[in-house]
């Protein structure tokens, strides 16, 4: 397995739109293993392929305390959404920044597994938020896009300050 480099905002490659997987082969298994290892090392609960500069619709998630319940979602899609809820979100591509985001509370979603088998399920809470956050990544969208112009301006200043300190 290999650790992949996670792209950080404002890297333009985070705005690429990922394409659907059509071949369920050993390359997909290698990609998902590498993404899981990277997500665990970075201490995230999710990771989308776009964040590691792979433009394919692949997402990994593990919400378990012991990090022993990995989920792989290939070509994930929200089929139906109900209600709204606001939760504080973070992002491995926007380190050290957290903000409240309003999303659908409950979702029905579909995805494919490594064998190309289709699954359909319903969920809410953190998993629903995480799936929506990761699908946004596959569409080139970041959680900070939901912020008010004032909050985005503050974030931009914070990042510029951090970049100055690092240089």
**Contact between 133 and ligand K1U per CB under 6 A:** yes
In degrees, rounded to 5, the angle at the alpha carbon of residue 93 between the alpha carbons of residues 98 and 63 is 70
Nearer to ligand K1U, 57 or 137 (CB): 137
Q: Among candidates 73, 159, 83, which has minimal Cα distance to 114?
A: 73
**Residues in 15-74 at the binding interface with ligand K1U, rule: CB under 6 A:** 44-48
Active-site annotation holder among 96, 105, 134, 160: 134
The three-state secondary structure class of 137 is helix
**Contact between 76 and ligand K1U per CB under 6 A:** no
Give all strands of the β-sheet with 118-124 in edge-to-edge order. 46-48, 58-61, 71-89, 99-112, 118-124
**Contact between 91 and Zn ion per CB under 5 A:** yes
Active site residue 134: yes
Site for Zn ion (CB under 5 A): how many residues?
1
Binding partner at 14 among ligand K1U, Zn ion, none, C-beta below 5 to 8 Å by kind: none
Binding partner at 76 among Zn ion, ligand K1U, none, C-beta below 5 to 8 Å by kind: none
Tell me how crowded residue 154 is: count the other CB atoms within 10 A of its CB.
13
CA distance 131 to 109: 9
Among 34, 56, 89, 111, contact with ligand K1U (rule: CB under 6 A): 89
Q: How many residues does the chain have?
A: 167
- State the residues that interact with ligand K1U by CB under 6 A: 44-48, 89-93, 129-130, 133-134, 137
């Amino acid at each position: 397995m290999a650790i992949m480099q996670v792209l950080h905002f404002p890297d333009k490659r985070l705005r690429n739109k990922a394409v659907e997987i059509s071949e369920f082969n050993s390359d997909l298994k290698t990609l998902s293993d590498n993404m899981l290892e990277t997500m665990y090392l970075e201490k995230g609960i999710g990771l989308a392929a776009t964040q590691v500069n792979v433009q394919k619709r692949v997402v990994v998630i593990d919400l378990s305390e012991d990090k022993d319940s990995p989920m792989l979602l290939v070509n994930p899609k929200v089929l139906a959404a109900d209600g709204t809820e606001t939760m504080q979100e973070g992002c491995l591509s926007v380190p050290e920044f957290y903000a409240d985001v309003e999303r659908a509370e409950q979702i029905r979603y579909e995805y494919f597994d490594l064998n190309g088998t289709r699954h359909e399920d319903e969920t809410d809470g953190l998993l629903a938020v995480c799936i929506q956050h990761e699908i946004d990544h596959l569409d080139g969208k970041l959680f900070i896009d939901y912020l008010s112009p004032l909050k985005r301006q503050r974030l931009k200043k914070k990042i510029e300050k951090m970049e100055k300190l690092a240089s």
